[in-house]
């Protein structure tokens, strides 16, 4: 176990599984828009590829998401969440036209490790980002109704101590769409077969 140097000295457990939650700024329901949901899932896929964590469950709601993940020795929980939140926010804003002229935007992030990721993952990510931007502009005819996207600065994490806690949190994630009254058959949850490639045994 070690203390992370960020703001409130988050405790990092080695080889631990975490239940994490992050909310949008002021709980704004950006993810009522399915285009943003699709981009978030692609950012989650990219983050998993880049940071090498194990993902056991996830769900995206209108204004927050939950993950059940096990980071590796190189990238801890704070590294993972920072990458996911930073890239998803930046690319959602790109789609809305807030930062489309920002030369720092690229399909795989902005650090040395990211720049080495080329090929199928980066190409898929880049194509989808431009496709979703096109869909967004057709849908809203350049009359964007959403404010600039922001996450809340921090995130909540809970260390999973045993198998019972793991199962309880996995069930919580699975039934979270029902709890929050999301549309029937809400697709942005780990039980959707379309996203089975994201889930580890």
Question: Does some domain include residue 76?
Answer: yes
pLDDT of residue 135: 94
Question: Does 108 reside within a domain?
Answer: yes
Whether residue 7 is contained in a domain is answered as no
Paired tokens of 40: 């978030």
111: in domain: yes
For residue 69, give its domain range.
14-198
pLDDT tens digits for range 146-170: 999 999 999 999 999 999 999 999 9
Predicted local distance difference test score (pLDDT) of residue 110: 45
User: If you average pLDDT over every residue of the chain, what do you get?
Assistant: 87
Which residues, given as ranges, of the chain have pLDDT below 50? 3-7, 103-116, 118
Q: How many structural domains compose the chain?
A: 1
For the domain that residue 153 is a member of, what is the CATH number? 3.30.70.1290
pLDDT at 13: 73
HSE (side-chain half, CA atoms, 13 Å) at 55: 26
């Amino acid at each position: 176990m070690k203390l992370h140097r960020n703001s409130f000295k988050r405790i990092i457990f080695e080889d631990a599984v975490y239940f994490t939650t992050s909310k949008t700024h002021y709980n704004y329901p950006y993810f009522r828009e399915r285009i943003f949901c699709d981009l978030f899932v692609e950012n989650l896929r990219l983050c998993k590829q880049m940071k090498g964590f194990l993902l056991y469950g996830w769900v995206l709601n209108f204004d927050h998401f939950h993950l059940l993940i096990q980071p590796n020795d190189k990238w801890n929980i704070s590294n993972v969440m920072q990458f996911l939140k930073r890239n998803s926010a930046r690319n959602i804003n790109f789609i809305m036209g807030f930062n489309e002229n920002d030369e720092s935007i690229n399909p795989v992030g902005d650090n040395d490790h990211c720049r080495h990721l080329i090929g199928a993952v980066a190409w898929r990510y880049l194509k989808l980002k431009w496709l979703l931007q096109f869909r967004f502009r057709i849908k809203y005819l350049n009359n964007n109704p959403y404010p600039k996207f922001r996450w809340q600065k921090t995130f909540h994490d809970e260390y999973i101590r045993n198998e019972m806690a793991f199962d309880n949190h996995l069930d919580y994630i699975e039934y979270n769409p029902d709890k929050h009254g999301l549309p029937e058959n809400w697709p942005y949850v780990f039980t959707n077969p379309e996203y089975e490639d994201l889930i580890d045994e």
